[in-house]
Amino acid sequence: MVDNLEISLEELKDICNVYLIDKLLGKIRDCRDHFLNKRVTIRCRDKISPIVEVGGHRVIINNLGKEDFSYMCDDKCADYLYQVKRGSTPFCKHYAAAIAQLIYEKEVSPKDKINYMEGQVLEELLAVVNQRKRDEGEEITHRDIEGDLEKLNTDFLDIARQNRTIAREKYHDEPENVFEDLVNRAFLLLDFDTIP
Ligand SMILES: [Zn+2]
């Protein structure tokens, strides 16, 4: 394309990158159904090479976070056969759901390197994980009084003023959602039972 268009290689790479990220964000959105409806089960708890079942599909991951990483989804996955294997996208929605479950069950930390999950794509995945936590009210059962006080003291005003940077960087979510969560924590600290 560069040979025939008045566009630099760099510009062209940027365009391709936007397209690729859009495609990956689509896979993350598609994984929500399986993950939020609890159709994901970790079959082998190995930090490097876990096996995860996603709605009847078996996702086998090898060397997670490493250079020689690979993963396999099964024959029934059209995404994997026609897109991942042909190289038009690096992962299918089942891989995204598997990673979401591994993060949710703390087998994998979002701070570690996770293949193909970075930047905007990782943020989108973490938002899905956070939604599940909110749905299950995990925040309410696991109370961390000192941690909550610290968060309220340092970030509450910024979050209330819809500071998107702090919300995304520290809480991996939209300020509106973080605000709701922090208010809930504040009430819990005062010993009120709140209904989110
Ligand atoms: Zn798949």
Cα(68) to centroid(ligand 1), Å: 20
pLDDT recorded at residue 153 = 92
Cα(96) to centroid(ligand 1), Å: 9
Cα(129) to centroid(ligand 1), Å: 19
pLDDT(139) > 60: no
Cα(88) to centroid(ligand 1), Å: 14
What are the pLDDT digits (tens) for 45-69? 998 999 999 999 999 999 999 999 9
Give the separation between CA 77 and CA 26, rounded to whole angstroms. 16
What are the pLDDT digits (tens) for 65-74? 999 999 999 9
End-to-end CA distance of the chain: 53
Cα(41) to centroid(ligand 1), Å: 14
Among the ranges 5-9, 107-111, 139-143, which has the highest mean pLDDT value? 107-111
Q: Which long-range contacts (CB under 8 A, 24 or more apart) does 169-175 make?
A: 171/130, 172/110, 172/123, 172/126, 172/127, 172/130, 173/126, 173/127, 173/130, 174/127
Cα(74) to centroid(ligand 1), Å: 7
What are the pLDDT digits (tens) for 149-169? 899 999 999 999 999 999 999
DSSP character string of 50-72: -EEEETTEEEEEESTTSTT-EEE
pLDDT recorded at residue 135 = 82
Query: Residue 51: CB partners within 8 Å, gap ≥ 6?
Result: 42, 43, 44, 58, 59, 60, 61
pLDDT recorded at residue 143 = 67
If one compares 136 and 20, the residue with the highest pLDDT of the two is: 20
Cα(94) to centroid(ligand 1), Å: 4
Cα(86) to centroid(ligand 1), Å: 13
pLDDT recorded at residue 30 = 95
Cα(142) to centroid(ligand 1), Å: 33
Cα(136) to centroid(ligand 1), Å: 26
* Residue ranges covered by each domain of the chain: 9-118+127-134, 139-189
Cα(93) to centroid(ligand 1), Å: 6
Give the separation between CA 81 and CA 86, rounded to whole angstroms. 7
What are the pLDDT digits (tens) for 71-123? 999 989 999 999 999 988 999 999 999 999 999 999 999 999 999 999 999 99
pLDDT recorded at residue 187 = 84
Cα(83) to centroid(ligand 1), Å: 10
Cα(98) to centroid(ligand 1), Å: 10
Cα(168) to centroid(ligand 1), Å: 28
pLDDT recorded at residue 146 = 85
